[in-house]
Amino acid sequence: MTAVEAAAVESLDQLTCGWRPLVLDADPAADVRDLPGVAVRWAESRFAFWNCVTLTEHGLGADRLPERLERAAEIMREKRRTGFLWLFEDLLAPAARAELPAAADRAGLDLAFSGAGMAGDLLPIPDPEHPLLEFVRVRTEEQLVAYADLNSRAYGFPPADGRDGLAGSRLWRTDVHAYLGLRDGVPVTAAATVPCEGRLFVVLVATDPAQERQGFGEAVTRKALHEGARATGLTRATLHATAAGAPVYRRIGLTPNTPIHYYSLRS
């Protein structure tokens, strides 16, 4: 296995491992299956990030790619709620990468957005400070709802959708290292970390769009990493970044590995 393939496998494993408890927390009856070539992590939540499928074969060739995409799309069509196919590009053989746009189109899948897997051996890091922020760990239902609302605003979801994914969770108030950044007592940014296969996995980083470009997202991510590492002793961190977020995580010390493409079903 090449270094590029190994990095892509690590990023894939963080999704299949890290999403399992989060999806089951959202719905104990969630569809959590590892099928031939396809993994399902689907909570039928209004929060679309809790509904996903992904292709899992290493070195998937152009001959098998259409079949796997069709199977993923078939699973998505069986569901009531919207979700995404997460596709880790560097798991595909070169010919399959070239074939991907046409094969996805034939399967009825449209590219929603792209990002990148990122990782780094950077922990522990200092406890961060920001002159405008106070950091608090999410412990109460009110704080958890604020965390959900920040994600809804950041990713363009209706508030009810974000709350459907997080509100009422015990896991997020106990086991997840979830932090809010407060400006003048008002939540403006959020980030969380969860341990996953010997790594600290960063999830659901969000900043109020009206409060961007002030270093809030970087500061709260550093806080979640600092506290997560302090609690677990883990030294390696991973995450799945949007294109906009990747520069922030580079400054923290994470480096990109595989491109990730997020596909939705054609309406």
DSSP per-residue string spanning 153-176: HHHT--HHHHHHHHTT-SHHHHTS
Report pLDDT digits (tens) over 147-165. 999 999 999 999 999 999 9
- Report how far residue 218's alpha carbon sits from residue 247's, in angstroms, rounded to the nearest whole number: 10
| CATH fit for domain 134-235, picks 3.40.718.10, 3.30.565.10, 3.40.630.30, 3.60.110.10 | 3.40.630.30
Give me the pLDDT at residue 7, please: 86
For the chain, domain boundaries: 3-116+260-265, 134-235
Query: Model pTM?
Result: 0.95
68: CB partners within 8 A, 6+ apart: 37, 38, 55, 57, 60
Residue 82 identity? T
Q: What is the pLDDT of residues 56-102, one digit of tens each?
A: 999 999 999 999 999 999 999 999 999 999 999 999 999 999 999 99
